[in-house]
Each structure stands twice: as C-alpha cells, then as structure tokens.
A = this chain, B = another copy of it.
C-alpha cells in the first residue's frame, strides 16, 4: 500500500482498527475508464451509461465481492452497484448519469469468507465428504455477521446459525440445504466483514453534460452578410430574419463569428490585403475599438437589445445562438490603454502583434499570459464569458484555445460550470493531436477535428476508429466540419457539388455533432484564393457578402433531409456506437451505428469519388447489425425512400455521385412470420 492508499484507506475504512495492512488481501487495479490516472474526468450526457471495469483479485482462492460506488460530487452517500465477474479477474458494473452534475465513482472489494466457505462446502458435499465440522464453521460466520446486522436480520442470522450448530444429526440434509441456500448467501452478503474491505484510492470523475453536448447540428453564419439586399451591411435583425431558413435546414445551433467592434488600426482589406480600403469592414476577429471590446456589440450590427431579440427569436425555432470567444485584441481595444501590462512589449516601445514567422498579423495583439499579475487577466476574461452568459448565451465556440495556457482553460471552464453546468464550449483548435486532446481533457465539451482532411477510406476508418473506439472517446467529443471560413479543402475545390454532398453525409453520420459554414456550404462555394490555398476567394472574413440562398441548385433541401434523418434515428445521435464494414471498392466506405438495444440501426455507404459512379460488394459484419445469416432483412434508404431486401453479408451497391453519392439505410429486421414476409421492424 502506498502512503496515499494507506491514508485514504484509513480515512475511509469503516473498520474499528485502521492498521489492517497485514490482513487486507484484495487488489483493485487497471480501472477503466480512468484518464491519466484519474487526473481528468470522463464525459457523458444525461441518460448515458458509465461502464466501469477493473482487475480485482486476491491471493489464494477465496471468493471476492466487488461494488461499484458512485455519487454526485459533494454528496455524502454513495450508491452501490454489485459488480459482476467477466472472468480472468476482470470485473464490471455500470450506472447512468441522470443529472447535470459532476459524478464520482470508485470501487470497493473484499475477500468474502462466507462465499468462500459456501463454495468450498458445496464441492465437499458433492464429493461426498463429511461436512459436519465445516457446517459448524459456517455457523460461526453467521453469528459474526449477526453482530453487524440490525435487529431483525440479526435475529434471523442467529436463528439460522443455531440450526446449523444444533446436534440434530437426523436433520443433516436440512442443515446442508440451509448452508448452501442462496437466501443465506443473500442475507450474509448484506453484512460483509468490513475489516477486510479495500477501497480503490481514487475517486474518478464524470462530467455529465446536457444532451446537446452529445448531439448537435451547427450552422455558422456571418450576420453582416444577412442583409436581404446586396450592398448593405447586415444586422442582427437581418440575422433574426434568416432564422426560419436555418431552422428549415434542421440546425439547432447558430454560431456567429465575433459580433464585437472591429479595430481600424492595421485593418486587413479584402482577400487579406495588408492595407484595407476605406469601405473594407475588417475581420471580426480583430476585436475592439474605442466603442468597446469583448462585451460590446459592433454598432453596424446593432445593439445589445438586438442581440437579446435574436436570442429570443432563435428560441422560438429551437435554435441556440453560439458566440465566438476570441481572446485577442485589435490595437484599438480598450485593454491596450487600460492594461498595457497584458501585452508583450518590444524593445522599440511597440506591442508585439500576432505572428507565426514569417507570417505577421499586424491587426491583432495577442494577450500575454506569462505575466506577473496573470490573475487579473484571467478574471477579466472570465467576466467576458459571464457577461454573455447573463445575456442568455449557453454555447461558446472558442477561437484558438491552444495559444492560451492549459491551466487557464481548466480554471475558466470549471468556474463557469460551477454556476452554469449547461454551458457548452467548442474548442477550435487545429494543431498537434496531443494538444487537441489535452484541451478536451481540461474541460472543452466538444472539439473540432481533422475530419476536413480525412478523405480516403483508410484515413476515415483509422481516424474515426481512434476517436470512437479508444480511450479518446471518454473525453473528446468530435464536432465535424466539412468547411469553415478558414478551411475550403482541396477535395471540395476539385470535387464540386458531389463532393459537398458526400462530405455532408460523412460529417452528419460519422459525427453526432457536426456543423457547416453557410451559406457558402449549401451553395457549394468552392473557389480558392489561389491554387494550393485553403482560403476562400473573396473570403467573407474580410468583406460583407450577399448570398443568394434561393438558388435552385442549393443543397438546402438535402441538408434539411439529412438533419431530419439525424433527428429521427437515435443511432446517429451517438459516437461510440460506430462500426466500419468492409467493401471490395476502396472508393466505397461503409459503416453503421446502432442503439444499444438494436431498435435503431443505420447503415451508411458513401462514394468517396466525386467524379465517377462506383459500385461494389459489401462484406457486412452481421453481428454489429444485430442480423444473422438465416433471415433476409430490409434496407430502407432514408435519402431516396427506396427499399431493398438483402440477405447476409454480401450485397451489391452502386452510387452515382451526380445523383446521390450515398445511401443512409435504416436496417429493418423481419418482425413477422413467413406469412407476413413484407413486414420488417
């Protein structure tokens, strides 16, 4: 026992004697899930299960009992769940999170003298050996337990013990039956000998989020481009008027790039020109003017009242508004004068602007977190978040969190969640994998991913296996974006409309959380600023756009259909239920998701080639689909409403990218007898 274990044991033990080291025989090891030795919580949404496993064993051959304990943090009482043995000393138990709270769980185990005795007794009895002395030994155990039990049970235990030790030799069979009965075991198991109990020394944590943390459909839109007539700067009111359109496509989160005053000094012009023209609006991420900073609304967009109105309107459409947290300043931000100590000063008396050598971003000053009085900076940034929370915002998309200290995010998110456990933070970090994972561990509710750059079957399979089938899934909730204002991938540039459709299906079905940057997306906008670049030509980041959302070739109906499919199929509302299936064509990817009880099974096939029709044979893993080799099943294409009857693993598919490059099949098993062949559930 390490010092720490010893201390915890001593604190927890209900034994009258704490120095039990020499008598404790159980080991609890390799508890899962446990992130970095318990340093970080796992994540769940309300209604989800926490399945806990551990190695539990002792020396010798005695029986072991193990309990999974859980509680909401700060509750004093644990709820106990009996763990079951999976064989090879592995044990399992589970509980469900039901409230918006932090939960804790741990494990307790002991060598069970009664169960060991009962199991030995049964073997001896079967071998026909004399068990009279053993029965007496059992009576002792019952007497001991009676001293730990409340009056009624104590009475029963004493009565039974008395029977076992009676001299009535004629009743040997009755004694044996009592000794070996499950009723005796059940009662005895309620009063184990706590002298031998060991508790796992860590209390592991679960962050329980609201359901939207695990299932959400995002739409990113620049309010300034929402004016109905070309040439006018859009407002938050225009943005509110666009809500029915967003709702018609089935989105439930509307994410707005920063809505704060945009700096003038060193403002960037159209297409990222170093010098802005006089009517260039600048990038919304260069935050702050004399008008105000992160708590102000850009006057051309409207007022704080307009924002509150937008929030109310959105609620009518079941849409939540997400704001952008971009903790950086334009040279005109009030902080620059009020808190010069929050910036890094250069020897020539100027402030260091953002740079990623040799690139320079003169319109943006990063905040310097490595300063003596970092606490004041942290508090101010926190006050920004609380300001918007007080306006009703509950979802934040956080810009570049990987350029601010990890400890800061851990503190900030914990502070927010203490008062507002329903707040969702999406980490917009596109950097090295370990940094992205770290941010998720620290508390970010959802995270952007490398999805945009995973295009081949192998890439997608590898990446989504890592995200959904390894420990990563315990803390990292992927949010899949086929495009963003910064990311117009080569695949979309070259593949056009079929590529947009395929990537949309992939994002919306591989990820329970996904989003698109529109209307650029549904209008299949795919002209890059220059060859080899992922920047949009005439990017909305630097200018006001006017989008013709009524264009007949818009994908808006297709998007709406897909979001409806997501809402109607619970299988698509989770990430960890993903299974990949084989096909004999490298351009055809195939995967499925299903609910735990197989009541909803969705099978997706996508043609990854935006230029040619691709066909091939599937090699489905029937187990993952809850199917067998004996019965046919129906696949119902939720995109086209076509239905096919399939049988077994091998089925033919053909996907024309110029019609629909994907199938999203609802799989229905036969629910009736042969007489009703056509009915599938």
Write the residues of chain A forming the contact surface with B, with a CB cutoff of 8 angstroms.
1-2, 21-25, 27, 29-30, 36-37, 39, 55, 57, 59-61, 88-89, 119-121, 123-124, 126-127, 129, 133, 136-137, 139-140, 165, 196, 346-348, 350, 355-358, 369-371, 374-375, 378, 402-408, 432-435, 438
Q: Which of B27, B29, B350, B406 contacts A59 (CB 8 A)?
A: B406
Nearest Cβ on chain B to A454's Cβ, whole angstroms: 17
Extra contacts, 20 of them, besides A25-B406, A137-B346 (Cβ < 8 A), are: A1-B407, A2-B39, A22-B407, A22-B408, A24-B405, A27-B406, A27-B438, A55-B434, A57-B432, A57-B434, A57-B438, A59-B404, A59-B405, A88-B433, A88-B434, A89-B434, A121-B357, A133-B346, A137-B347, A196-B370
> What chain B residues lie within 8 Å of A127 (beta carbons)?
357-358
A55→B432 CA distance, assembly (Å): 12
A347 CA / B166 CA spacing, docked (Å) = 13
Do the beta carbons of B21 and A407 come within 8 Å of each other? yes
Residue contact A25 to B405, C-beta cutoff 8 Å: yes
Interface centre among A36, A355, A405 (most CB of B within 10 A): A405
Q: Which residue of B lies closest to A55 (CB)?
A: B434
- In the bound assembly, the distance between CA atoms of A347 and B133 in angstroms comes to 6
**28 A–B contacts, CB within 8 A, in A order:** A21-B407, A22-B374, A22-B375, A22-B407, A23-B371, A24-B407, A25-B370, A25-B407, A27-B438, A29-B434, A57-B432, A59-B402, A59-B406, A59-B435, A60-B403, A61-B356, A61-B403, A89-B432, A120-B357, A123-B358, A126-B358, A127-B358, A129-B358, A133-B347, A133-B348, A136-B348, A137-B346, A165-B347
Q: Which 4 A-B pairs have the closest CB atoms?
A: A22-B374, A127-B358, A136-B347, A123-B357
Residue of B nearest to A350 (CB): B133
Determine the residue in chain B with the shortest Cβ distance to A56.
Answer: B434
Q: Tell me which of A36, A37, A127, A403 has the highest count of chain B C-beta atoms within 10 A of its own C-beta.
A: A37
A357 vs B395: C-alpha distance in the bound complex, in angstroms?
Answer: 62
- Which of A57, A402, A404: most chain B Cβ within 10 A? A57
Shortest C-beta distance, A260 to chain B (Å), equals 23
Contact (Cβ within 8 A) B347 A22? no
Please name all residues of chain B whose beta carbon is closer than 8 Å to the beta carbon of A139 when the two chains form the complex: 347
Give chain B residues whose Cβ lies under 8 Å from the Cβ of A27. 406, 438
Question: What is the bound-complex CA distance between A85 and B21, given in angstroms?
Answer: 43
Q: Once the chains are docked, how many angstroms separate the CA of A567 from the CA of B282?
A: 76
What's the Cα separation between A133 and B435 when bound, in Å?
Answer: 31
- In whole angstroms, how far apart are the Cα atoms of A375 and B133 in the complex? 29
Query: Which residues of chain B come closer than 8 Å to A435, judged between CB atoms?
Result: 57, 59, 89
- In the complex, the answer to whether B25 meets A36 with C-beta atoms within 8 Å is no
Task: Kindly provide the distance from the CB of A567 to the nearest chain B CB, expressed in whole angstroms.
Answer: 37
Residues of B within 8 A of A89 (CB): 432, 434-435
Please give, as numbers and ranges, the residues of chain B lying within 8 Å of A120 by CB-CB distance.
355, 357
Given the known A-B contacts A29-B36, A127-B358, A358-B124, are A23 and B88 also in contact in the complex, defined by CB atoms under 8 Å? no
Contact partner, A432, options B88, B406, B433, Cβ 8 Å? B88
Kindly report which residue of chain B lies nearest to residue A21, judged by CB atoms: B407
Q: Quote the shortest CB–CB distance from A169 to chain B (angstroms).
A: 15
Nearest-Cβ distance from residue A244 to partner chain B, whole angstroms? 41
Which of A37, A59, A119, A402 has the most B CB atoms < 10 Å from its CB?
A59
Which residues of chain B come closer than 8 Å to A36, judged between CB atoms? 29-30
Inter-chain contact B402/A60, CB cutoff 8 Å: yes
Q: Contact check: which of B22, B123, B136, B346 meets A369 at CB < 8 Å?
A: B22
Bound together, the chains give a CA A434 to CA B438 distance in angstroms of 31
Q: How far is the CA of A168 from the CA of B165 in the complex (A)?
A: 104
